[in-house]
Amino acid sequence: MTLDVARIRKDFPILERQVRGGQPLVYLDSANTSQKPRQVLDALADFYERHNANIHRATHQLGEEATQAYEGARARLAAFVGAPETAEIVFTKNVTEAINLVAYAMGNASAGGQHGRFSLGPGDEIVITEMEHHSNIVPWQLLCQRTGATLRWFGVTPEGRLDTSAIDDLITERTKLVALVHQSNVLGTINPVRVIADRAHAAGALVLVDAAQSVPHLPVDVTALGADFLGFTSHKMCGPTGIGVLWGRRELLEEMPPFLGGGEMIEQVWMERSTFAPPPHKFEAGTMPIAQAVGLAAAAGYLTETGQDAIRAYEHDLLAHALGTLHQVEGVRILGPAEPVDRGAAISFTVEGVHPHDVSQVLDERGIAVRAGHHCAWPLHRALGIQASTRASFYLYNTRDEVGALAEGIREAQRFFGVVPGSR
């Protein structure tokens, strides 16, 4: 199956927009947030127009319909990532909340002292990597501060791959959890999660995978990856903002103490104490983003029907073309793997003599939307010896013409700032 991109583009109304004085929008910021197809927008409108009610507690027809739609979304997402059981899908706000959920549950276990494998203290270690998004660094720093555990990390090679040379030293019997990104939001690097997970499991550690940048772009099977927990987010995969998913192995979700307390996550409540609902509801306190769950399920349906393998193949071809095109622009340094091998279609780069913010400004003036800064991966930028970068990220609706527009825009930035490549 090949991708009919012209037809796909028609599904995304926003791609018809003109920006900055009548120029067609060239949207190369999908790693930040993706655009939404008509099918998802229609699902949201249909839910609000016809089925809107609160779930699990409304004793009327609309309540039943809304509950069915919400729980149906859970089943669809379980199938989407190959979860063995639907109850292993916990809805969260986003990946950040999914990671924090596990981190705070572990903190609660450590304070309570009765949940062996989730409990941390001095001498225990959490292992992350230097290429993590801040959302997979800061929660673990905070957890280590609360419990006295130690944070350690894998480094990154100059090419932008995970440096696994110190794995024997890093993953030991002291390791309680390994948390790593599946696909880097800056480098595009796809990490060998299975290899790391097997080592972690052999050492008795749990494995959490940040799949924010991989689930939107390639078929992900949580069991094949060897993860214990995996987080992904709706808004980067054609779905609405405000909802994400924590997948966790059932026995772990059952054993793990709750994070947020409130309505709907309980079994019984007394004034002194409470008992909790079984997962996933134990982790879904308060009224959840119901319409957004329906929208996310529609997004998963859209990607499935379009064909995840076809999307992956198309993006890989576009990535290879983009890497080749940008290599030909003098003065451009691409961060991350130079070859399109184990690599997704997010390309961060620097332009010699022009600050990333200024590059993105010139691009924006031409209707080209990219991101500039450290992309919430400050430690990675430090490790690469740079302060910031510009990132162009591609998705199923992008074209080779847009790659050309990007390259021409970079040349324009060089002209505007009087930088003659190679002469400095």
CA distance 66 to 287: 12
Distance, CA of 78 to CA of 213 (rounded, Å): 18
Name residues contacting other proteins, limited to 19-38 (CB under 8 A).
20-21
Q: Judged by CB under 8 A, which stretch of 208-216, 298-306, 336-344, 381-389 contacts other proteins?
A: 381-389
Query: Which is closer to other proteins, CB of 74 or CB of 374?
Result: 374
Site for other proteins in 218-257 (CB under 8 A): none
Smallest gap from Cβ 362 to other proteins, in A, equals 7
DSSP β-bridge partners for residue 159: none
- Nearer of residues 106 and 363 to other proteins, judged by Cβ: 363
Which residue type is seen at 103? Answer: A
* Contact status: 417 vs other proteins (CB under 8 A): yes
Stretch that binds other proteins, among 106-114, 149-157, 370-378, 397-405 (CB under 8 A): 370-378
- DSSP characters for 368-416? EE-EEE-TT-HHHHHHTT-S-EEEEE--TT--HHHHHHHHHHHHHHHHH
Q: How many residues bind to other proteins according to rule CB under 8 A?
A: 19
**What is the amino acid identity at position 335?**
L
List the one residue from 356, 369, 380, 410 that touches other proteins (CB under 8 A). 356
376 classed as catalytic = yes
Phi-psi region of 240 (alpha: psi -120 to 50; beta: other; left: phi over 0): beta
Of 23 and 399, which has the nearer Cβ to other proteins?
23
β-bridge mates for residue 390, sequence order? 349, 372
Q: Is 387 in the site for other proteins (CB under 8 A)?
A: yes
**Out of 149, 376, 392, 405, which one is annotated catalytic?**
376
Q: In terms of DSSP bridges, do strands 332-334 and 368-369 run parallel, antiparallel, or are they unpaired?
A: unpaired
289 binds other proteins (CB under 8 A): no
Q: Which is nearer to other proteins, 235 or 374 (CB)?
A: 374
Please tell me what DSSP assigns to residue 37: -
Single out the residue of 23, 365, 404, 408 in contact with other proteins (rule: CB under 8 A).
Answer: 365
Exactly one of 355, 383, 404, 408 binds other proteins (CB under 8 A); that residue is: 355
Residue for token pair 């920006």 = 19
Distance of CA 206 to the CA centre of its chain: 19
Q: How far is the CB of 211 from other proteins (least distance, A)?
A: 25
Side-chain half-sphere CA neighbours of 179 within 13 A: 27
Binding residue for other proteins, selected from 129, 374, 393, 409, defined by CB under 8 A: 374
51/381 with CB nearer other proteins: 381
- Say if residues 372 and 389 touch (Cβ distance below 8 Å): yes
- Min dist. Cβ of residue 179 to other proteins (A): 23
Q: Does 50 bind other proteins (CB under 8 A)?
A: no
Among 74, 76, 381, 391, binds other proteins (CB under 8 A): 381
Smallest gap from residue 26 Cβ to other proteins (A): 16
Single residue of 78, 372, 380, 396 touching other proteins by CB under 8 A = 372
- Cβ atoms < 10 Å from Cβ of 312: 17
Residue 420 CA: distances (Å) to CA of 366, 414, 416, 417 = 21, 7, 10, 9
Q: Report the C-alpha gap between 17 and 22 in whole angstroms.
A: 9
Element (H, E) at 179: strand 175-181
Instruction: Kindly state whether residue 276 participates in binding other proteins, applying the rule CB under 8 A.
Output: no
Q: What is the DSSP string of 51-105?
A: I---SSS--SHHHHHHHHHHHHHHHHHHHHTT-S-GGGEEEESSHHHHHHHHHHH
How far apart CA 175 and CA 127 sit, in angstroms, is 7
C-alpha 335 chain-centroid distance: 19
What is the closest distance, in whole angstroms, from the C-beta atom of residue 32 to other proteins in the complex? 13
SS3 for 287?
coil
Selected from 24, 219, 373, 421, the binder of other proteins by CB under 8 A is 373
Min dist. Cβ of residue 373 to other proteins (A): 4
Q: CB of 193 within 8 A of CB of 226?
A: yes
Q: Is residue 68 within the footprint of other proteins (CB under 8 A)?
A: no
Contact stretch for other proteins (CB under 8 A) within 78-86, 333-341, 367-375, 398-406: 367-375
Per CB under 8 A, 46 contacts other proteins: no
Catalytic residues: 376
Binding site for other proteins (CB under 8 A): 20-21, 355-358, 361-362, 365, 372-374, 378, 381, 387-388, 416-418
